[in-house]
Amino acid sequence: MDIKKNDILTVEITDTGTEGEGIGKLALPAPDAADTEEKAGGKAAGFTLFVKDAVIGDTVQVKVMKAKKNYAYAKLEKVLVPSPFRVQPPCAFHRQCGGCQLQSLSYEKQLEFKQNKIRNNLVRIGGFDPEKIDACMEPIIGMEDPWHYRNKAQFPFGYDKEGNVVTGFYAGRSHTIIPNADCALGVEENQEILEIILRFMKKYGVPAYEEVSGKGLLRHVLIRKGFASGQLMVCLIINGKKLPEEQRLADELWKIPGMTSVSVNVNMERTNVIMGKKVRVLKGEEKIEDSIGDVVFRISPLSFYQVNPVQTRKLYGQALEYAGLTGEETVWDLYCGIGTISLFLAQKAKKVYGVEIVPEAIADAKENAVRNGITNTEFYVGKAEEVLPRKYEADGVYAGVIVVDPPRKGCDEKCLETMVRMRPGRIVYVSCDSATLGRDLKYLGENGYEVARVRGVDQFPGTTHVETVTLLVRKP
């Protein structure tokens, strides 16, 4: 018997896949297939099942959804014997929602999964010797309380089947909205803000944007909270210039303690990109304030800001330690955002240069430097892979230490190539995707640098994502 769609099987989950899914090697066919047991046993030896929502250590009953020759994707039907690592997830929607993949796994095991994920990517993609990686990998830094850690959320608006306006989260791999305003990762104010907006939409007949037709008005809302300052930001992203009765909405939101910034952002493009380019303030300030350690930051709706402030403090602390600054160094901070790492390092360096592609973020970075009385920083708008080579070739700039913190796609090769040519003694690579980190470390490893220390920081509990800080030193 071949394994085919709709087969019901029993399997023990022995591993966790990169997407957080459970992995099992086929054990026994389900009882109703007992008559073909002998044949199936023979053919299916080594057959792998990928089961979303199954936890390592579970024995589960699954239904095959898509079968290939040696493996199949299957749906979890029933947990027959729960894993000792299985926990009760706090969110009722965790199986549908695309946000959390590891909620049913104990936090300790989540950390173990992430530690292994980094290690495997460095070995498999980076091509490093496993022993070498084990020797320089430090234990991942987790959270004490791994819930409600996110300072930012973006909720889409749309309609349910009955035509009611809804907001919540996209279901995994789709743009169907699951109406849940009470996310276990977000701040408690999210719910009240969303309820006010939904009430307002109903009262004034404000239509939600519909991706299929490109019609409608309210697309998303961005909510941010400064954990240290308590300040709240609400930015409404609209497919038009104005919301009807927008001041009334701003006044209503203003009643929430901490509300500091209510704005609209215009995005009239038919695109998946959430934010448009222009922000118009409805009430209060355009930016909110927050601090990490003793550095204060002003953050605009368009700028990137790390989503988990508690862990960000630890992440930057680790980057600072790896940078090994004595006060004499010239540091380049590539992909610097609003200058968070730059300003953190500037306190211990001679000079820090930051490079970032988003002009608003660089404006924030400059303002943040002034606000903190930091005078040894300079910031440039542009692509790291263009600014760095230009500065190096035209002005012959020097770097003792280079810090990079690129988005998931990692560094452009042109950027890596210039970094190597600049010959800094140390490179600190902060990465949110250990697969592209592996690729880039391979390049740096082949071009004069040695991986000296690696450490994961769990910025995203409940999900499969993990941040990694790596120290590379120039080989003698």
Task: List residues near ligand SAH by CB under 6 A.
Answer: 304-306, 335-337, 340-341, 355-358, 361, 383-385, 405-407
Q: Where are the alpha helices (DSSP H) in 349-454?
A: 359-371, 384-395, 413-422, 434-446
CA angle, 162 then 92 then 217, to 5°: 40
Nearer to ligand SAH (CB atom), residue 140 or residue 411: 411
d(CA 49, CA 66): 10
Token reading at 288: 């909110």
The type of residue at 104 is S
Rounded to a whole number of angstroms, the minimum distance from the CB of residue 81 to ligand SAH is 42
Measured CA to CA in angstroms, residue 239 lies from 276, 301, 330 at distances of 9, 17, 45
Nearer to ligand SAH (CB atom), residue 181 or residue 355: 355
Nearer to ligand SAH (CB atom), residue 55 or residue 295: 295
Q: Which residue is nearest to ligand SAH (CB)?
A: 337
Under 8 Å between Cβ of 398 and 372: no
Rounded to a whole number of angstroms, the minimum distance from the CB of residue 335 to ligand SAH is 3
Nearer to ligand SAH (CB atom), residue 405 or residue 433: 405
Under 8 Å between Cβ of 235 and 260: no
Is 306 assigned to a binding site? yes
d(CA 241, CA 233): 20
Token reading at 454: 């690696």
Nearer to ligand SAH (CB atom), residue 157 or residue 305: 305
Rounded to a whole number of angstroms, the minimum distance from the CB of residue 80 to ligand SAH is 43
Nearer to ligand SAH (CB atom), residue 45 or residue 273: 273
d(CA 442, CA 453): 15
Rounded to a whole number of angstroms, the minimum distance from the CB of residue 339 to ligand SAH is 8
Specify which residues 470 forms β-bridges with. Answer: 429, 454
DSSP string, 208-257: BPBTTTTB-SEEEEEEEE-TTT--EEEEEEESSS--TTHHHHHHHHHTST
* Active site members: 432
Under 8 Å between Cβ of 234 and 262: yes
Is 305 assigned to a binding site? no
Measured CA to CA in angstroms, residue 69 lies from 6, 63, 160 at distances of 15, 16, 39
Token reading at 199: 């009430």
Rounded to a whole number of angstroms, the minimum distance from the CB of residue 464 to ligand SAH is 19
Rounded to a whole number of angstroms, the minimum distance from the CB of residue 294 to ligand SAH is 17
Going by C-alpha positions, the residue among 101, 97, 91 that lies closest to residue 171 is: 97
Q: E strand or H helix at 469, and its extent?
A: strand 467-474
Rounded to a whole number of angstroms, the minimum distance from the CB of residue 173 to ligand SAH is 24
Going by C-alpha positions, the residue among 472, 476, 474 that lies closest to residue 132 is: 472
Nearer to ligand SAH (CB atom), residue 58 or residue 289: 289
Is 335 assigned to a binding site? yes
Going by C-alpha positions, the residue among 37, 35, 17 that lies closest to residue 27 is: 37
**Residues that constitute the known binding site:** 306, 335, 356, 405
**Residues that constitute the known binding site for S-adenosyl-L-methionine:** 306, 335, 356, 405
